[in-house]
Amino acid sequence: MSVHRSGTARVRRLTAAGTLLAAFSLLLTLPSAAATAPARGSAHMGMGVVQHDGRGGTPAGGNTAVAQTEGVDVAGYQGSVAWSTLWSSGVRWAYAKATEGTYYTNPSFAQQYNGSYNVGMIRGAYHFATPDTTSGAAQANYFVDHGGGWSRDGRTLPGTLDIEWNPYGAACYGKTASAMVSWIADFLNTYKARTGRDAVIYTATSWWTDCTGNYGGFAANNPLWIARYASDPGTLPAGWGFYTMWQYTSSGPTVGDHDKFNGALDRVQALANG
């Protein structure tokens, strides 16, 4: 009997050890939520472009028949920006992230927004939308109240709504295409009421197609800032016959995110003047 008990115990120990080993192996292969989910507030323009749209072509070019004016966009993770270096390299306009949702303001916003202005650039602010947290109107008001306003000084661009892949969860923020269109309209209408300007829409064609059903109703009033890291901006979302701005790379000099304005500097000034 003692031999039988010893053999049984040995089998149980081996079985338990095998179970633990299998469980440990499974844990090693599962992605870590803590490692993959970014901190709230850390989102920025183009965060999902490489992951969802891929990277191809040469990050340069554009419409060679039309003058293009170089710009940059920056966010909190880039900290203090060397604006004089960017100016010397030919950058003439810039956007800084001001807000996200109704819970985050960029701690480097003053240095970025005012620093670009102080070296001579035309500047603007952008808001990273999180349509699953609060209404479009609430986020537009939060944006305007925390740096996203507009002034008729000839060097301030209208605010931009950054609407793209959700870095914290479902790509379309759990909304149907019609609900997403309604949310965007709520933001845009509120921003216009607060500032008198139509906001710029920053997006990527693939996200816009998937999450708004390729809605074309904003194109008549809202300038398009298209994101595509390739040798050209590609197919544009429905309604827009041309882009106003194009984010063409996330690996440019001094700061990663570089952009082309679809026109000479006087066209940038015209957008600032409204």
Q: Residue 142 is inside which H or E element, if any?
A: helix 136-143
**pLDDT at res. 62:** 45
Check if 162 is active-site.
yes
**Among 53, 73, 257, 259, the one annotated catalytic:** 73
Please identify which residue in the block is written with the tokens 């197919």.
Answer: 235
**Among 53, 70, 100, 164, the one annotated catalytic:** 164
Percent of the chain with pLDDT over 90: 76
The one-letter amino acid at 66: V
**pLDDT at res. 54:** 59
What region does 193 belong to: left with phi over 0, alpha with psi -120 to 50, or beta?
Answer: alpha
pLDDT digit string, tens, across residues 176-223:
999 999 999 999 999 999 999 999 999 999 999 999 999 999 999 999
**pLDDT at res. 4:** 44
CATH class of 49-273: alpha beta
Q: Residue 268 is inside which H or E element, if any?
A: helix 265-273
Range 120-136 average pLDDT: 98
Range 73-87 average pLDDT: 97
150 has pLDDT over 60: yes
Among the listed residues 53, 54, 63, 122, the one whose alpha carbon sits nearest the alpha carbon of residue 243: 63
- Kindly indicate the confidence band of residue 65, based on its pLDDT and cuts at 50, 70 and 90: low
Which residues on adjacent β-strands are paired with residue 94? 72, 123
**Among 53, 70, 162, 259, the one annotated catalytic:** 162
Distance CA(56)–CA(63), nearest Å, equals 17
**pLDDT at res. 75:** 97
Distance CA(179)–CA(162), nearest Å, equals 17
Using DSSP's 3-state secondary structure scheme, residue 88 falls into helix
The one-letter amino acid at 228: R
- Kindly indicate the confidence band of residue 56, based on its pLDDT and cuts at 50, 70 and 90: very low
**pLDDT at res. 122:** 98
48 has pLDDT over 80: no
Q: What angle do CA 120, 265, 189 make, to 5 degrees?
A: 90
Range 30-47 average pLDDT: 66
